[in-house]
Structure 1
Amino acid sequence: MAGRIRIGIGGWTYEPWRGSFYPPGLAQRRELEHASRHLSSIEVNGTYYGSQKPDSFRKWHDETPDGFVFSLKGPRFATNRRVLAEAGDSVARFMDSGVLLLGDKLGPINWQFMPTKKFDPEDFAAFLDLLPPEAEGRRLRHVVELRHASFRDPALLELARSRGIGVVVAADSPHPQIADPTADFVYARIMGTREDEPLGYAAAELDLWAERARTWAGGGLPKGLDYVGKPVKAKARDVFLYVISGYKERNPQAAMALIERLSHP
């Protein structure tokens, strides 16, 4: 058996997508409805910058089809601090802000760190212990996005694996890559779309990322990525792959091209 693969983009409100991804004349209030019928997931960046109202989470749930999933950015107030062990109140406020109203459409929560944040094993372990493994009887998935090279340390893998917390695979970007799976899912953010490619990536590059997603879903380890520790295979893993940054105007086309490739055996 293979895990489930979900492909998406960051957010859904972006003016250049109107007329390219969104049909001309589509009301802005219907953009999430449209995006969620062409993609299988969206990463929400707004939760990183500030709290959302409970009604927003309820509305997002109701406007999207069954099986659609939102990944949420954890608040910067939790990750952008000197002592991570003191982030408990920020984590708790976020979890109590209404995120659980997404129900089955709540995917992984991405805790993104600044590029200047270095790996302190003791303090980072304390932060990971603040992330609740469940809430209201629902299992939660957490993933950390690490942008300083000091995190490329086998000790980081051990901390994450012991708690079932994922590590973001940063790809096609200047950020250090940690491709080692540490949970029962893989969370990848690919950032290399280009203006001169109608689908963001060349066909061969899209084929490669589709094949990597299949390999992850089957429990394997794709070739050509940058690993830190010893290989660890699994029976299956769910995959969340987001086309982020790069030439943002092309990101929906790249995501849809990947979905099309993955729809064929």
Structure 2
Amino acid sequence: MTTPGTIRAGIGGWTFEPWEGTFYPDDLPKKRQLEYASRQMPTIEVNGTYYGSQKPAVFAKWASEAPDGFVFSLKGNRFVTNRRVLSEAGESMEKFLGSGITELGEKLGPIVWQFAPTKQFDPEDFEGFLKLLPGERDGIRLRHVLEVRHPSFMAPDFAALARKHGAAICYAHHFTYPEMADVTADFVYARLQRGEDSIPTAYTPADLDAWAERAQTWAKGGMPGDLPLADENVKIEAKPRDVFVYFIHEGKVRAPHAARAFMERVAD
């Protein structure tokens, strides 16, 4: 086995008023929040791109403010995924991919395609969508994540389609969304969404220990044995995989502390 893949943990966005004074120093100007946050953790998931377009200059500015090695994961625009026929999303997808995201350069991480909780799994239409996903743009590799929220996706056929097209299934540690830890790409993407603000690190130290161990298993090319799978009969190739873990949604005030505590556990 070669060196394990890189494990990165982060948060959702960097603009959140309750972080002022709890995560950000009291005297830190708002315009320097990204600069600060990107030096406290190695990745951030940007949710704003789901709701609206950004200009190339904005992506270039983000890239300039973050240090080398930092990675932005982007939510794909909602006009791509919030439609009855997914295979007809080509024009909207092109508009999003051409909006300047490649200005991030090497700091462009996975693109997360979020589907509504009401969107059910239609194998034919979903494969039509997967065929629209390009592997590169402007010479930069594109990695795609499928964040599905309807229980009908908890099916071997869905995992097989994702694996066929090299897209990662987002593992959601969530109270209502389906949990699928199937490894279907050469990287793993997890969103840990059951944190609590009453806990200083959102998840308890014991829970963080367990998630760090799972992330290390993924990074070494394995699959944790205690997480739900859509297809329990597939054996994956044991090869190093990059792992992205985000503390997001519940326990948001303490999410930055969770990400830092998690990274301390997986540091070499």
Normalised by the size of structure 2, how large is the TM-score?
0.97
Aligned to 2:230: 228
Stretch of structure 1 that moved more, 128-137 or 251-260: 128-137
Alignment of 1:185-200 (within 5 A): 185-200=187-202
Partner SS state of residue 39, structure 2: helix
Structure 1 outlier segments of 4+, above 6 Å:
none
C-alpha separation between the residues in 2 aligned to 1:19 and 1:238?
Answer: 32
Q: How many residues align?
A: 264
TM-fit CA distance, 1:178: 1.1
C-alpha separation between the residues in 1 aligned to 2:150 and 2:176?
Answer: 11
Aligned to 1:126: 128
Aligned to 1:248: 252
Of residues 155, 178, 181, the one that matches 1:179 is 181
How far does the alpha carbon of each residue in 1:139-177 deviate from its partner, in whole angstroms, 9 at most, with x for none? 210011000010111111111111111110001432101
C-alpha separation between the residues in 1 aligned to 2:69 and 2:240?
Answer: 19
C-alpha separation between the residues in 1 aligned to 2:213 and 2:206?
Answer: 11
Aligned to 2:149: 147
Long gaps (5+) in structure 2: none
Aligned to 2:114: 112
- 8 A contact 1:188–1:242 mirrored in 2: yes
> Sequence identity, in percent?
57
Partner SS state of residue 207, structure 1: helix
- 8 A contact 1:8–1:241 mirrored in 2: yes
C-alpha separation between the residues in 2 aligned to 1:96 and 1:196?
Answer: 42
C-alpha separation between the residues in 2 aligned to 1:172 and 1:90?
Answer: 29
C-alpha separation between the residues in 2 aligned to 1:13 and 1:137?
Answer: 30
Aligned to 2:82: 80
Normalised by the size of structure 1, how large is the TM-score?
0.98
TM-fit CA distance, 1:234: 2.2
- 8 A contact 1:221–1:233 mirrored in 2: no
- 8 A contact 1:3–1:218 mirrored in 2: yes
Aligned to 1:214: 216
TM-fit CA distance, 1:233: 3.9
- 8 A contact 1:173–1:190 mirrored in 2: no
TM-fit CA distance, 1:193: 1.1
TM-fit CA distance, 1:246: 0.8
Aligned to 2:241: 237
Alignment of 1:28-67 (within 5 A): 28-67=30-69
User: How well do the aligned residues superpose, as a CA RMSD in angstroms?
Assistant: 0.9
C-alpha separation between the residues in 1 aligned to 2:219 and 2:121?
Answer: 29
